[in-house]
Amino acid sequence: MSANLPAYLESLNPEQLQAVLHTGGPLLILAGAGTGKTRVITTKIAYLVKEIGMSPESILAVTFTNKAAREMRERAMQIEPACERATIRTFHSFGAWFLRRNAAAVGIDSNFVIYDDDDSAQLVRTILPQASKQECEHYATLISRAKDYNIEPDSPSLDRLSQESNLRRIYTMYEERLRATGNVDFGDLIRLPARLLESDQVIARRTHQRFRVILVDEYQDSNVAQFILLQRLASPETYVCVVGDDDQSIYRFRGAEVRNILSFANSFPGTTVIRLERNYRSSQTILDIAGNVVSHNKNRLGKTLHATKPGGIKPELALLDDQDQEVEFCSHIVKNHVRAGGRLSDIAILYRTNAQSLAFEKEFPRKKINYKIVGALRFYEREEVKDVLAYLSFLLNPRDEIAFRRIVNKPTRGLGESSVDMLLEDAQQRGTTILEACLACQTSLKGKAKAGMEEFLAVIKEASELLKPAGEKTDKGEKSLSVVLETIIEKSKLAEYHKNKDEIAGTQKLSNMEELVNAASLYPAVQEGLAEFLETIDLDRSLQAVEDEDATDAVTLITMHNTKGLEFPIVIITGLEQGLFPRDDESGDELEEQRRLFYVALTRAKDRIYMTACHWRRIHGRLFETQPSRFLTEIDPSLYRLWGEMPQTEYRSLRPGSEAAQARGASPPTAQGRNTAQVLGIREWKVGMKVYHDEYGQGVVIKTTDNENSGPLVIVQFETGKVGQFFPKYTKKLEKIQD
């Protein structure tokens, strides 16, 4: 290396240095797992400012989580403090920032509220008032996916996304109602800026002049709409650099499109590709098996990782009888590690679905093994938290129909749905805000409804009076936004309402509301402070259940998807059976993504890898004979140590009852000839039955009804307080817990 290099560049390896120093045409940095990609992109930002003389304001860097954006900014500032002035945000945060500055051009109010998935489903329900909650969520998901792919309601491409005959009509009405509220959803934060940059040349030219450099982290996780936004943000003179790893693209179910990174060089002619292949995390034995797994994918750019740390222990694969033995095997590894002086927090147990954690949750307490689960219900998704946030959203935007519907009759104030519908219709016809319509209707309401409306308006009035108008300055000693939240919680009687729930269900609803109050204390009691607080929440819904600051020594139980970006000295990957990982219905691109997921799981390990597959597995209380995952049969046997005997049967279809399984002598005692999906569709549901949902956690069936076409409707009360309705025929997320 040159002796003239600045000190902060001297520690980079040759490939990292090449990536940092590159300027000119487009750049694709293929950064394998553990190769120091964050270091490269943050150093590059600092280098462009410190050495090249770029204005920090001319640099736009985007990533996918607030945590990553904060880390990127902090690390760049350690090298060059002026990097604080660079625009470093998540994709959605940038979209919100862009829309608030160009709201008028899009036809929305700058004080818009960002609707989450639940809000979107509620908006769909205003279109389909007779539809079940599940149907509304289904259509909301389809609309969200359409926006991820930049598909408009009138686009012919919508038919390729879904064959739902009503989708086009519902999507069109959804957009009309969303625009009427003055709010946006997450898809709009990408779609609307992209649309504006195409239609308004003045704004496009101003944006191109502002941002001369665009850097994108984790580019393999981008969706089609984000790709289009990137294209329109970049002029021919813009320096574009993306960093990513096609082998770690695992979020297709969220709309991520691996072809964005695979075709980057075609989309941006003249692209230079630099591969980072020196791994600083794992031993070579781990990298070898991970590379062997992903090498079976056809759609990849290709790279070979090399370990910088010496030595390495060969990964181990244990073929076990059943789940009980799997738990015993994992317990044995944990206890041996602790006896040797290690910590419980060194170990992570990975699985495909959250439901697989239940066996460990039952047995680990008996074995006195502390554990923590990553993937519990997120703080901002909890009922009581969303109630308070709805009040805040309505304070900020008195046209917010979804927020209004959630709070106007909660706790119950005698205001029925028909009264609310008439009020909203009146507001729409008159062209007024919902709040103005509420004030105007007081004389027409009678009895409980009149008293209830007066009570609701009194809460809004008192909270509003605590907020200073927009643009008014505040002194440091003045009250924070937490005072507004405390007033809302007390005066609305939400505190009393959720306290009663705490006493019945043993939940922590009051504590959660108190935690929200604490979070608001960092913001001033002005409209701008309220908008900033809500935006921060809206854009930070991927909170990690386990934070770095958590000092608890415990084994981590976590899905493979949730391990992205994490690392552990010891990783145990469980449930590697055909039909479970991968599922039998996964093929083509889906199968390649699951292979990448396996690769991600393997590369989380620093020192040791253990893998397990069971001969028999209980699924919803029934016992199935299984075969090892086809992914295991693809691995070179010399790369791992085998405990047990690998079946000789070649992979065809290894579901219970299949020809291949029968050739091995399989005879599942409870489900001959049926695969897992079929069993899911015919299982019985009873009141009082314990269940588990991938997103909502544990709950109890409180009601069941029969539907001639859709099968049984199951209503579940979850431990979080949430009540959900499900058609087991159509969902794979709801599972029975076998006591």
Active-site residues, by number, are 37-38, 217-218, 248, 604
From 66, 73, 7, 3, select the one nearest 38 (Cα to Cα).
Answer: 73
- Rounded Cα–Cα distance for residues 577 and 646 (Å): 12
To which H or E segment does residue 59 belong? strand 59-63
- Per-residue burial over 490-519, b = 16 or more CB atoms within 10 Å of its CB, e = otherwise: ebbbbbebbeeebeeeebebbebbbebbeb
SS3 27: strand
Structure tokens at 207: 């944006």
- Rounded Cα–Cα distance for residues 424 and 401 (Å): 8
Q: Judging by DSSP bridges, how do beta strands 690-693 and 734-736 pair with one another? A: antiparallel
Q: Give me the phi and psi of 123, to 5 degrees please.
A: -65, -40
From 424, 416, 458, 461, select the one nearest 441 (Cα to Cα).
Answer: 424
To which H or E segment does residue 415 belong? none
From 210, 224, 182, 266, select the one nearest 86 (Cα to Cα).
Answer: 210
Structure tokens at 468: 């200073």
DSSP 356: G
Angle in degrees, 0-180, between the axes of helices 447-466 and 482-491, rounded to the nearest 10: 170
SS3 618: strand
Omega cis (within 30) before 582: yes
Largest CA distance in the chain: 85
- Rounded Cα–Cα distance for residues 534 and 113 (Å): 8
From 535, 708, 513, select the one nearest 114 (Cα to Cα).
Answer: 535
- Rounded Cα–Cα distance for residues 719 and 699 (Å): 6
SS3 459: helix
Structure tokens at 658: 């299949």
CB 480: neighbour CB atoms within 10 A? 17
SS3 351: strand
First to last CA, the chain: 64
DSSP 377: P
- Rounded Cα–Cα distance for residues 165 and 651 (Å): 38
